[in-house]
A and B are shown apart, each in its own frame.
Chain A
Amino acid sequence: MAGGGLRPKIEKACLKGIPGGGMRMNLGDIVKLLDGVVLCGEDLTGSLDVKYAYGADLMSDVLAFAKPGSLLITGLTNIQIVRTAQMMDLPAIVFARGKRPQENTLELAKKAGVPIILVKKSMYETCGILFGAGIIPCEIPDRGV
């Protein structure tokens, strides 16, 4: 977790949407932080660091807004979530709210070398913990709202 002195800086960076405001976090540490279970790719978690995360239950949203290299947090369990991660170079997938990937999803994840992490917490809590730890959100461009 980020130290207290760094926290305002990270928040400032997050609020402004400035990339590079947070710190890279090791995937193994993220698993511990989320009290998660690594379903596949455990050997890769030690060597993977993430700086950004994106949470969504819509594939096209991930394709539109996830920053390459981001950790993906989702509740979608079908094989296309791994394909989506592959297209966007997202290094690992966290399944929130106790969801488990389907068998063919897991098979493709193993083949593609994409670690899968199971987390019992809700999507909101999962994202909140990661945000609090200094993982930066992906920037959403102005869509005229």
Chain B
Amino acid sequence: MKYPIGEFDSVTAPYIVKFSVEADDFLAAGEASMQIKETLKMLGASSIICQRAAVITYEAEMNLVIHGGGGELQASIDQEKIELLVRDEGPGIPDVDLAMQEGFSTAPDHIREMGFGAGMGLPNIKRNADELHIETAPGEGTTLRAVLFFVSPSERKA
């Protein structure tokens, strides 16, 4: 087993939680991620899984707040994985490869002064996710799908 996971037996999978995230609401930003983390903890996920999931959701949530003009964050948890869907109808990402590079950022100064916008968001998501897909085009918003497996590839269902 790659990452230990607690008992999900008592839960009818998948367990889905959905949040709406407001643009520029820096006070509430992170609440959705915290609730997803609490849900994982409640379901018995290990602290490593909880932290990795939290980094993915929190960075994605901040992206909704900073860049996406708000959006939707959905976590779907079953016995072998957490699947995160993040959707916005914001400006889209013109060059995903560039956005994936550490240090590349389009965040304005007031965001940087808050300690964000260092160009580490997407790289941090990638580092913690087992699978990452980004669908985006200029003017057409962004959909990010990240999967984090609780078990090793050999133990996954087909």
Query: Which of A28-36, A83-91, A123-131 touches B?
Result: A83-91
Contacts of B116 in A (CB 8 A): 58-60, 80
What residues of chain B lie closer than 8 Å to A43, measured between beta carbons? none
Known contacts A58-B120, A83-B29; decide if A68 and B115 are in contact (CB<8 Å).
no
Is B118 on the interface with A (CB-CB < 8 A)? yes
User: Chain A residues with Cβ under 8 A from B37's Cβ?
Assistant: 86-87
Given contacts A61-B120, A81-B115, contact A87 B55 (CB under 8 A): yes
Tally inter-chain residue pairs, CB-CB below 8 A: 75
B90-107 interface code vs A (CB 8 A; 1 in, 0 out): 000000000000100000
Q: Which residues of B contact A (CB under 8 A)?
A: 26-27, 29-30, 33-34, 37, 47, 50-51, 54-55, 58-59, 62, 102, 114-116, 118-121, 123-124, 127
Known contacts A86-B30, A88-B51, A89-B51; 10 additional CB pairs below 8 A are A60-B120, A60-B121, A61-B118, A61-B120, A63-B120, A64-B127, A83-B29, A83-B34, A87-B55, A143-B102
Interchain residue pairs A-B with the least CB separation, the first 8: A60-B120, A83-B30, A87-B54, A76-B115, A59-B115, A58-B118, A63-B55, A87-B58
